[in-house]
Structure 1
Amino acid sequence: MTHFAPPGPLGFGGAPLGNMFEAIDDKTAEAALVAAWDSGVRYFDTAPHYGSGLSEHRFGNVLRRYPREAFALSTKVGRLLRPDPSRPDNGPFVDGLPFRVEADYSYDATMRSIEDSYQRLGLAQIDIAFVHDLAADHLGPAWQEQFEVARSGAFRALTRLRDEGVIKGWGLGVNLTEPCIRALEVADPDVFLLAGRYSLLNQPALDRLFPMCAERGVHVVVGGPYNSGLLAGGRTFEYQDAPAEMVVRRDRIAAVCERHGADIRSAALQFCAAHPVVAAIIPGAKRPEKVAVNARLMAATIPSALWDELRHEQLIPANAPTPN
């Protein structure tokens, strides 16, 4: 069975438009989304969590001007927004909307979340719903309990909505492989959004999760292809200061890219997109010029000798697919 997949290879990730780490104005957010559309992007991903609804509002304000059948849209469930004029802290998002975020993976909360997203987006169709951050405590005991709530709640609700044709597919939006593997064992997801677990720097999804997805016809959207900045010239890895060994590895990869006249950012994007189970990659961008750069990097020609050298230097696994 082949499940619904968003169009790729390049999509648009909506966390930056929720004012992640830094606030931007509505005009800049609008320009970034228009630039993505103009560069050929037809898959857009957002979430209630991003800026306490701000990202969804911004997406809807722009995407409503385009034919709905011309693009795919995903959002997430598992976080309900409650009015709170004190504007409580919401992780890395600054100057968000006046709502507090409450984690809730139950059946009723999932149905409520979908309805709320329709209202914030101002759109009557959501193509994919991801269960958001189901492994937020990084596989501690609470994760197992959380998963069971989602299994009997969110999974059941989203399966019903898919079967009724309300959505086209559902899956998990997480940054660990283990909940995806577990979901394949106990449910029938269509697509996963996996952040930071398949990249030019590390590939924990390669040997177990991706083969399981291939066998089931399940697709993957790769988030965080730059590993939160380290592969794009920054110093952060998984939203923290990068460990020294990762900086060294990045520098070795960059040196290989330089020898072959390639941009490491192009290599990072195209490596992720080359795996057959990967339907799309969604680098985030706050500003239109960065969107245009991502599109250019995605289309750049990379010599096959670069991939050969990365394998020879054991900087990528021998069994990792690379672009032709």
Structure 2
Amino acid sequence: MLYRPFGTTGKNVSTISFGGMRFTEPENFEKNSDLILYAHEKGINYFDTAPIYCEDRSENIFGHALRQLPRESFIVSTKGSHAKGDDLRKTLERSLTRLGVDQIDFFYIWHLMNPQDWENRKQLGAVEAALKAKEEGLIGHLLCSSHMEGEAIAEVLKERIFEGILLGYNAINFPYRQQAVVQAGQQKLGVVTMNPLGGGLIPQNAEKFAFLKSETADNVVSAALQFNLSHPAISTVLVGFENRDEIDQAVAAVKNFTPISSKQQKNVESNLKTAFSDLCTGCGYCLPCPVDIPIPKYLDSYNQLILTDGDKQAVLDHYRFHWDITPQQAKECISCGDCEERCTQHLPIIQRLAELPLQASE
């Protein structure tokens, strides 16, 4: 297993980390614990969970497994999304009990969806409560997790409250998040990436993503993981596992790992645009919109419609859980055409906004 320093925390993390959101049988503690222990045996030392994951059983699953391991042999993280300080404290104390530890190594101010949400976390006491818990030794290091675009995340990081960041980053959406990763690297923060396989879209469209493969990655799953880890600022990649074979495949992806060169990186970016000329790459040149529609967010959601062969529920979930936007705002388009004139890919933006679903049954 390849390990990297996690920012300036003094912790070394496995480049593949175990994400606790994918247990298919959350009620089966023994089966899932066995999977966690197997991952640890293979060198994975960073385990990530959160309240509500897997029918609100994920933290208990990890607690069941991690109690069987020496405390110094693993790093565990969990999260709190409450804006009020008292509520965050209750969540933290419950997580400590569930996980069976005296300290959460990495605790995330979780699910920052927009700048106002971030302001609320500060004003209503969540950040203060987390920092107090850190002083008490209940939290080792304070981090944040966000689905905002890269520029907005970068602004949060510049406040220098956090020691690391968790964000979605993959071969499909990296243009949306690149600025945040670069900012984190400049500040020497730890960077955890989630959703490295694009929610399964990359392996489901393996032929289209064949250009990711290299001499050291002969399948798109390995190639997608290597794509993430080739960014010098990225510390570790979160992967959810359903069986031992998936763990073996992920671990193999970083065996004898060599980062792709800048030339290869540019080749990937070029191929991405060629292979998916109909996908929005998130450059943002379409903005500003005269009626304040966040066009890149909606077109990223439209990407889901293309890659899932029209799965409207996937698009609706993307609105809500990835971008925190409503379906209705896309329909406020006044068809002025300014965005289409500026689009470097010449995409039919007006048409796509009109085609975005309002509900799954449309």
TM-score, normalising length from structure 1? Answer: 0.72
SS of 1:226's equivalent?
A: coil
State the distance in 2 between where 1:215 and 1:147 align.
Answer: 21
Are the aligned partners of 1:155 and 1:187 in contact in 2 as well (CA < 8 Å)? no
2:332 alignment partner in structure 1: none
For residues 292-307 of structure 1, the aligned pairs below 5 Å read: 292-299=248-255
C-alpha deviation, 1:260, in angstroms:
8.2
CA distance 1:313–1:55, change in 2 (3 Å): closer
Q: Which moved more, 1:117-126 or 1:34-43?
A: 117-126
Are the aligned partners of 2:49 and 2:58 in contact in 1 as well (CA < 8 Å)? yes
Are the aligned partners of 1:273 and 1:280 in contact in 2 as well (CA < 8 Å)? yes
- Number of matched residues? 264
C-alpha deviation, 1:174, in angstroms:
2.5
SS of 2:186's equivalent?
A: helix
State the distance in 2 between where 1:40 and 1:287 align.
Answer: 16
For residues 188-267 of structure 1, the aligned pairs below 5 Å read: 188-195=161-168, 198-204=169-175, 207-231=178-202, 233-234=203-204, 251-255=207-211, 257=213, 262-267=218-223
2:20 alignment partner in structure 1: 14
1:174 alignment partner in structure 2: 146
C-alpha deviation, 1:31, in angstroms:
2.0
State the distance in 2 between where 1:41 and 1:300 align.
Answer: 16
Question: 1:118 aligned to 2:96?
Answer: yes
C-alpha deviation, 1:302, in angstroms:
7.0
C-alpha deviation, 1:165, in angstroms:
3.4
Q: Which moved more, 1:298-307 or 1:216-225?
A: 298-307
C-alpha deviation, 1:272, in angstroms:
0.8
Are the aligned partners of 1:260 and 1:303 in contact in 2 as well (CA < 8 Å)? no
C-alpha deviation, 1:220, in angstroms:
0.8
CA distance 1:297–1:115, change in 2 (3 Å): same
State the distance in 2 between where 1:298 and 1:166 align.
Answer: 32
C-alpha deviation, 1:256, in angstroms:
5.8
Deviation by residue 1:62-106 (Cα, 9 ceiling, x = unmatched) = 11111111111100011xxxxxxxxxxxxxxxxxxxxxxxxx321
Looking at CA atoms only, which structure, 1 or 2, has the larger radius of gyration?
2
SS of 1:11's equivalent?
A: strand
The structure whose RCO (Cα within 8 Å, separation 6+) is larger is 1
C-alpha deviation, 1:307, in angstroms:
6.5
SS of 1:220's equivalent?
A: strand
CA distance 1:308–1:278, change in 2 (3 Å): closer
For residues 300-315 of structure 1, the aligned pairs below 5 Å read: 308=264, 311=267, 314-315=270-271
Question: 1:150 aligned to 2:121?
Answer: yes
1:159 alignment partner in structure 2: 131
Where does the alignment leave 5 or more consecutive residues of structure 2 unmatched? 1-6, 274-362
C-alpha deviation, 1:161, in angstroms:
2.5
Are the aligned partners of 1:177 and 1:194 in contact in 2 as well (CA < 8 Å)? no
Are the aligned partners of 1:222 and 1:282 in contact in 2 as well (CA < 8 Å)? yes
**Aligned residue type for 1:159:** L
Question: 1:133 aligned to 2:111?
Answer: yes
1:3 to 8, 16, 20: 8
**Aligned residue type for 1:194:** L
State the distance in 2 between where 1:276 and 1:105 align.
Answer: 32
CA distance 1:265–1:156, change in 2 (3 Å): same
Where does the alignment leave 5 or more consecutive residues of structure 1 unmatched? 79-103, 235-246, 318-324
For residues 88-103 of structure 1, the aligned pairs below 5 Å read: none
SS of 1:51's equivalent?
A: helix
CA distance 1:258–1:67, change in 2 (3 Å): closer
State the distance in 2 between where 1:309 and 1:149 align.
Answer: 38
Percent of aligned positions that are identical: 25
Deviation by residue 1:36-80 (Cα, 9 ceiling, x = unmatched) = 1111000000001203430000001011111111111100011xx
1:273 alignment partner in structure 2: 229
1:286 alignment partner in structure 2: 242
**Aligned residue type for 1:150:** R
1:55 alignment partner in structure 2: 58
SS of 1:289's equivalent?
A: helix
State the distance in 2 between where 1:183 and 1:303 align.
Answer: 28
